[in-house]
Amino acid sequence: MSHTDQSIDVPTLLEISASGALVGSTRRYEKFSGEMAGVYLDEAAWKAEVAGKGADNLVYSVNEHKYQNGPGALIVGTSCVLPGSYGDEYAVTRGHLHAVSDRAELYYCLSGRGVMLLDTVDGGTSAVELAPGQAVNVPGHWIHRSVNVGDEPFVTLFCYSADAGQDYTIIAEAGGMKNLVVHDGPDGWTTVPNPRHTGYRSEPSA
């Protein structure tokens, strides 16, 4: 087997920029305004954004690098959430719990200013602000979502186990996360309870 065969452990150089560009990425996906139905509390504001800027207006993008499977393999990537507001709420990603829910994830801020919004299914909640040079270690069993609270792209570098997967439906089924991240004066943010939140379904038993 060749030492360049990517099915074995081969050290790989990645070039990562503060803009979120990832040279050597193996996958990129993008989410657009028209695909964010039900994410924001103020549906009228979301519809107005779609009508004004188009359903294909980019909300966030993800570049990732994965070249292995199996125990110990990692996914490394970048997330770029563009600035914006929908009513009082800041722009967010869909958010997820890992399908293998005990898998942790690290997020390191490369540029911009944002918040990592976190919940557990049994009622825990947290909101961690990130600026360049700061990171948050998201433990397993925590639902998490990135929020841009600044006026420039919020870009993070992330890393997690390649077998983790994502469960995106757990947030939608609960009517959204427990709290919303909203404007609070000039350049400020705060969290407020989400009136649509109905509680999360239990995690599958191991």
- CATH number, domain of 48, equals 2.60.120.10
Q: What percent of the chain is modeled with pLDDT above 90?
A: 86
Of all helices (H) and strands (E), which one includes residue 134?
none
Residue 7 has pLDDT above 80, yes or no: no
Residue 200 lies in a domain: no
The 10s digit of each residue's pLDDT in 17-45 is 999 999 988 999 999 999 999 999 999 99
Residue 6 lies in a domain: no
Residue 177 lies in a domain: yes
Residue 188 lies in a domain: yes
Instruction: Identify the pLDDT of residue 8.
Output: 56
Please indicate whether residue 12 or residue 126 has the higher confidence score (pLDDT).
126
Q: What percent of the chain is modeled with pLDDT above 70?
A: 94
Residue 204 lies in a domain: no
Residue 164 has pLDDT above 70, yes or no: yes
Residue 42 lies in a domain: yes
Print the domain residue range for 65: 15-193
pLDDT grade for 174, boundaries at 50, 70 and 90: very high
**165 φψ region: left (φ > 0), alpha (ψ -120 to 50), beta (else):** left
On average, the pLDDT of the chain sits at 93
Beta-carbon contacts of residue 191 (< 8 Å; ≥ 6 apart)? 117, 127, 179, 180, 181, 182
Q: What is the DSSP string of 163-187?
A: T---B-HHHHHTTS-SEEEEE-STT
Instruction: Identify the pLDDT of residue 57.
Output: 96
3-state secondary structure of 112: coil
Residue 202 lies in a domain: no
Pair 98, 165: CB distance under 8 Å = yes
pTM (two decimals): 0.92
State both tokens at 152.
């420039």
Residue 189 lies in a domain: yes
3-state secondary structure of 47: helix
How many folded domains does the chain comprise?
1
Beta-carbon contacts of residue 52 (< 8 Å; ≥ 6 apart)? none
Residue 152 has pLDDT above 60, yes or no: yes
The 10s digit of each residue's pLDDT in 60-88 is 999 999 988 788 899 999 999 999 999 99
Mean pLDDT (whole number) for 130-156: 98
